[in-house]
Amino acid sequence: MRISRKRITQQKSGKTVEGKRVKERHGRPRSKEGERGKDVVEGELVDLGFVLPGEFVGTNEEFISGEQTFESGGNIYAAVTGNAKVERSKRTIMVKPEVNILNYINEGDIVIGRVGSIKSMVALVDVVHIKGRGEREIVNLEPAAIHISNIKDTYVREISEELCPLDIVKARVIDVTNMRLTIADRELGVMKAFCSVCRQPLKKNATGLHCLSCGNKESRKTSTEYGTGII
C-alpha cells in the first residue's frame, strides 16, 4: 500500500504519534450494536447444518449438551427442528430452532418427515420440512399417511418390513385433503433409520441395513440418497 509523504498522525491511547509512516493494524471489525449481519458470530459459533428432532449431533466426549439438545448413552441429540451450532470457546453444542412461518403443503411437494407410528395398513408421518421452502418447521395438526400401496411399485407384505418408527423419510404429497404421501419413487423413501435394538443409526450396504454397534440387520424401503444427508 502506497503511503503519502505527508505527516501522518495516529491517535493511540490518548497520545499522538508522528512520523512519515504509520503501520496500519488490521483486525476484525467490531459489530455495530444491534447489528447481527449473519446468524452466527464468526469465530464463536459454527453452523453444523439443519437437523430434525432426535438426530445425532455429537458425543459428550466432544461437546457439552446445550439448549434444545439432550443426552442418551453418551450421545447428544437434537430436541427440536433447527440448525445445530457449536460454541467453540465453551465446547457447547446447541440447536437454534427456526422461526415458524406458515407453509402451505401442495400436491406434488417433496417433504421430509419422521415416522411416528405404524398401523396395519398405513405409516403415520410428522412432516417437518418442505423441499425448496427453506429450513422452516411446518406446523401440522395432523400427521400425514403413507398407505401400504404407496410404499413400493411391487407387493408389500408388511409395512414394518419397509418402515419403522423414528425413520426419517423423503416423500411426495399425492393428496392434500387427506394428507397422503408416497415413497414409491427411487429417490424417495427412508433417508435415515435407527436400529430397533440399540437406537443407533443404521448403515447401508449391498445386503440391506446393519447396525455397527450391536450387529442387528434390518430392512427398509430406502431412498437412493440414504445416508447422504441430501434433502
Is the pLDDT at 216 greater than 50? The verdict is yes
* Strands lying side by side in the sheet with 69-72: 56-59, 75-78, 69-72
- Residue-wise pLDDT tens digits, 157-193: 999 999 999 999 999 999 988 899 999 999 999 999 9
Is the pLDDT at 121 greater than 70? The verdict is yes
Does pTM top 0.85 for this prediction?
no
Start-to-end Cα distance in the chain: 47
- Residue-wise pLDDT tens digits, 79-108: 877 889 999 888 999 998 765 545 678 899
Domains of the chain by residue range: 45-97, 110-218
Of the pLDDT bands very low, low, confident and very high (cuts 50, 70, 90), residue 134 is: low
pLDDT above 70 covers what percent of the chain? 74
Of the pLDDT bands very low, low, confident and very high (cuts 50, 70, 90), residue 72 is: confident
Cell of 182: 408416497
pLDDT for the residue 168: 94
pLDDT for the residue 136: 56
Q: What is the CATH number of domain 45-97?
A: 2.40.50.100
The answer to whether the beta carbons of residues 222 and 203 sit under 8 Å apart is no
Distance (Å, whole) CA 166 – CA 124:
11
pLDDT above 90 covers what percent of the chain? 50
Place of cell 417433496: 110
pLDDT for the residue 40: 44
Instruction: Give me the sign of the Cα torsion angle 76, 192, 103, 175.
Output: negative
pLDDT for the residue 217: 94
What number of other Cβ atoms are within 10 A of residue 39's Cβ? 10
Q: Which superfamily does 110-218 belong to? A: Nucleic acid-binding proteins (2.40.50.140)
pLDDT for the residue 102: 52
Q: How much is the mean pLDDT over the chain?
A: 79
